[in-house]
Homo-oligomer: A and B are copies of this chain.
């Protein structure tokens, strides 16, 4: 094993933040990478939409013919960091069919096409690595697929979207409303011009699909993930959270659940109350963290920067070095593991705790009527608080009831909320939030 080995050829697709950082590392760390791989890593070309002299890469390395680039004989590994789903899908499939190993950070693609890509990699006997697709630089995929390969993962709960975590942290610490916190995030470059994928939870749901797939050896796609965004969260919700010693986080939750004697997978993304004593409550700003609970290992937590050019490039280059080393050694990394094929649990059967706040008529018997609706559907109440609502002049103008439940299914809770809304004594159900991280 030495630098005299036949070089390993790399094609990078995409020259945005991440792509530029990856190209920079390949050049700046050439000696180190050669020593770690056992052969030199040579950049054969960079696939871009716009070939020009001002891209920071020698223009002769640039090409807009991606189909040709991924098929080149002297390319061994293709690094895809261009997104979105198409044309990335087509390029990756073509690369795999030409026998190239592939490294990708494309969570949107992976969460809809894992099976297809994994099968193509399998057919070609090459590697498909995607550590950067979830939580940027934080190693999560490798620990789940390798370090925990002998354990039984029960649960993966994470803050995997930096944009929404920045917005929620800002709302919590400054009392800002959603729109001004989003504006701050945009000004700082933490939110995109169209923030839909982040704030509506699509990005987190894609990561949930990937995490659930590898944690439970089951193919889970983005469509299998229940998803709610953060756009309806208000400063009042944060005030209520504080009263319960909680904060609010957009969580990605992947669980192994036994229902009627059968193991199932639940994957869901929604904003939830999290007790301040929970390790995820302290994860603020654009940081990400993932908590894994496994039978023998207990609770593990991984924390770091979940996005950004350099951190994502670190994860991509780690995969690139591993894929290159495998090429040199004639080895292969772990393949897709989907043997368990657990069915996905419908959200109605998922169970957690809930916080329900409602404005009610200020007269006797209201609490009894409200409590009866919970009882009818076997939703057990853990805490209840009734308080007067006063107007600006200090006059009592109504009452509010806040209920925190024990664990109940989403179905039972939804029915209860619908019934509460139909009660004459309930004016509005102001807020329903899930409470995670307690028993």
This chain: how many copies in the complex?
2
Q: Contacts of A303 on B, CB cut-off 8 Å?
A: 279, 300-303
Q: Report the separation of the CA atoms of residues A299 and B136 in the bound assembly, to the nearest whole angstrom.
A: 12
- Taking a contact as CB atoms under 8 Å apart, the answer to whether A147 and B151 are in contact is no
Chain A, interface size: which category? 35 or more
- Taking a contact as CB atoms under 8 Å apart, the answer to whether A151 and B318 are in contact is yes
A30 to chain B, nearest CB (A): 12
A320 at the binding interface (Cβ < 8 Å): yes
List which A29-47 residues lie within 8 A (CB) of chain B: 29, 32-33, 35-36
Looking at the complex, which one of B21, B35, B142 makes contact with A146 (CB distance below 8 Å)? Answer: B142
Q: Contacts of A146 on B, CB cut-off 8 Å?
A: 139, 142, 146, 318, 322
List which A329-345 residues lie within 8 A (CB) of chain B: 329-334, 337, 339-340
A310 to chain B, nearest CB (A): 4
- Taking a contact as CB atoms under 8 Å apart, the answer to whether A150 and B318 are in contact is yes
Q: What mask results when residues 125 to 165 of chain A are scored 1 for a CB within 8 Å of chain B, else 0?
A: 00000010000011100110011111110000000000000
- Taking a contact as CB atoms under 8 Å apart, the answer to whether B150 and A320 are in contact is yes
Q: Report the separation of the CA atoms of residues A156 and B201 in the bound assembly, to the nearest whole angstrom.
A: 34
A217 at the binding interface (Cβ < 8 Å): yes
With contacts A143-B143, A150-B25 taken as known, whether A314 is within 8 angstroms of B294 at the C-beta atoms is: yes
Q: Contacts of A318 on B, CB cut-off 8 Å?
A: 146-151
- A residues apposed to B, CB below 8 Å: 21, 25, 29, 32-33, 35-36, 131, 137-139, 142-143, 146-152, 217, 279, 282, 294-305, 308, 310-311, 313-322, 325-326, 329-334, 337, 339-340
A-B contact pairs, 29 of them (CB 8 A): A25-B151, A29-B152, A35-B339, A36-B149, A36-B217, A36-B337, A137-B296, A138-B300, A139-B139, A139-B143, A139-B147, A139-B300, A142-B147, A147-B315, A147-B318, A149-B318, A149-B322, A151-B318, A296-B313, A297-B305, A297-B310, A298-B308, A298-B311, A299-B305, A300-B304, A301-B301, A322-B334, A330-B331, A331-B333
